[in-house]
Amino acid sequence: MSGARRATLGRAGGFAALAYAFAVTMLGTTLPTPLYGLYRQRFGFSELMITVIFATYAAGVIVALLSFGRLSDAIGRRAALLPALGLSALSAVAFLAAQGLGLLLAGRVLSGLSAGIFTGTATAALVDLAPPARRGRATLVATIANMGGLGCGPLLAGLLSQWVSSPLRLSFWVNLALLVPAAIGVWAMPEAITDRRRPRLRPQALSVPAEIRSTFTRAALAAFAGFAVLGLFTAVSPAFLGQALGVRSHAVVGLVVFAVFAASTGGQMLLGFVPERAAMPAGAGALIAGMGLLALGLAGSSLALLVLGGVIAGAGQGLSFRAGLAAVNASSPAERRAEIASSFFVVAYVAISIPVIGEGVLAQAVGLRPAGEAFAAGVAALSAVVLVLLARRRETA
């Protein structure tokens, strides 16, 4: 049956259904965050192993970006999105069936593959479904669905695990239930790609033209610092709150992570109100300030300072990330824009994984609190490098 005949939703209905599916897919990727402490108790994992379980998600995202980044341009948006939803459901099933490390790692990889396929495809599909005059707004909706979903995952799992029984199971049953209307909506949405062709499934090359490398370097360093912060809060905040601050409530853990992602969304929305030249320096400065407050919160066992630091750093991450991506896109040759954007996102997702694993290694060697303080210092130092590079660019200009 053709895509045109199968679609039962109009453009507005398809847009709303896809935004919902986007948010639900991203929700599933962060759902385990408040549960890591429970997995640690149940299976006897070390803090390092928790960070490894978390980081395998980034590996799945990177594989999907490199292998399937352009797939929907060839086979259609729906044909790429529905399998991505299937991978998200398989991830939830893996967590439901997990009796040890193997299925937990498999669940994270499946979740990463789902997110890697869905992010770019859903963003493009939302732009396709929006009226031409509102395509900028469609990009903003995609941002809100993406970051909002990432923030709602820990919030949902934290609330469920705090007040209901079977916390390691119910959250994923709810996730599967939410995916059902998402799949129905994607199945029924209009298809914008009518000229289908045979896909070429080969890894996408990553390279950056020499003429934009300075712009790319500044933006990529800022993205690396910001995404490292998101990785830290998503993977390690339960340990910070529980072991360093004595906060045992899963609901509080979920609220803290939600606040950081909500701040990131707010930071990205600020780009429309902050002058372009000031956006990335302001974001880098907020990352430095946020990491300073985070370090003070850990040193002084202050929940308020830790949360405030996370919110300020989250806003800085959102602002610097969107400003950096806009600068990279604006300076990229049109025929290589997708390849360069993929390189940028690979840097971002490496930042979610490698620094967090490093924090886990350091935590085993010197303790969780000193490791968190060292991590904060590293992110602040990298953000300071971005400020120096931006200042040099202004002097050169």
Listing DSSP states for 176-244 in one string gives HHHHHHHHHHHHHS-----S-------PPP----GGGHHHHHHHHHHHHHHHHHHHHHHHHHHHIIIII
Beta-carbon contacts of 216 under 8 Å, excluding residues fewer than 6 positions away, are: 208, 328, 340, 343, 344
**Helix, strand, coil content of the chain in percent (nearest 5):** 85, 0, 15
Q: Is 397 helix (H, G, I), strand (E, B) or coil?
A: coil
Q: Which amino acid is at 323?
A: A
187/165 Cα distance (integer angstroms): 34
The mean pLDDT of the chain is 87
How many angstroms separate the first and last alpha carbons of the chain? 57
Tokens of 334: 């049109």
pLDDT greater than 80 at residue 197: no
pLDDT greater than 90 at residue 180: yes
Q: Which amino acid is at 99?
A: Q
326/332 Cα distance (integer angstroms): 10
Q: Which amino acid is at 317?
A: Q
pLDDT greater than 60 at residue 196: yes
**pLDDT computed for residue 199 by the predictor:** 64
pLDDT band at 326 (very low <50, low <70, confident <90, very high): confident
Domains defined along the chain, listed by start: 7-194 (1.20.1250.20), 206-397 (1.20.1250.20)
Kindly write down the DSSP assignment for every residue of 120-188, as one continuous string.
HHHHHHHHHHS-GGGHHHHHHHHHHHHHHHHHHHHHHHHHHHHHSS-HHHHHHHHHHHHHHHHHHHHHH
336/313 Cα distance (integer angstroms): 31
pLDDT greater than 80 at residue 73: no
**pLDDT computed for residue 286 by the predictor:** 96
Tell me what the mean pLDDT of segment 352-356 comes to. Answer: 88
CB 62 within 8 A of CB 71: no
207/14 Cα distance (integer angstroms): 35
215/28 Cα distance (integer angstroms): 33
**pLDDT computed for residue 353 by the predictor:** 86
pLDDT band at 335 (very low <50, low <70, confident <90, very high): low
**pLDDT computed for residue 205 by the predictor:** 67
Is residue 370 exposed (0-12), middle (13-18) or buried (19+ Cβ within 10 Å)? Answer: middle
pLDDT greater than 90 at residue 10: no
User: Strand ranges (DSSP E) for 268-378?
Assistant: none
**pLDDT computed for residue 4 by the predictor:** 45
pLDDT greater than 60 at residue 7: no
CA angle 139, 355, 202 (to 5 degrees): 55
Tell me what the mean pLDDT of segment 302-318 comes to. Answer: 94
Instruction: Specify the DSSP class assigned to residue 44.
Output: T
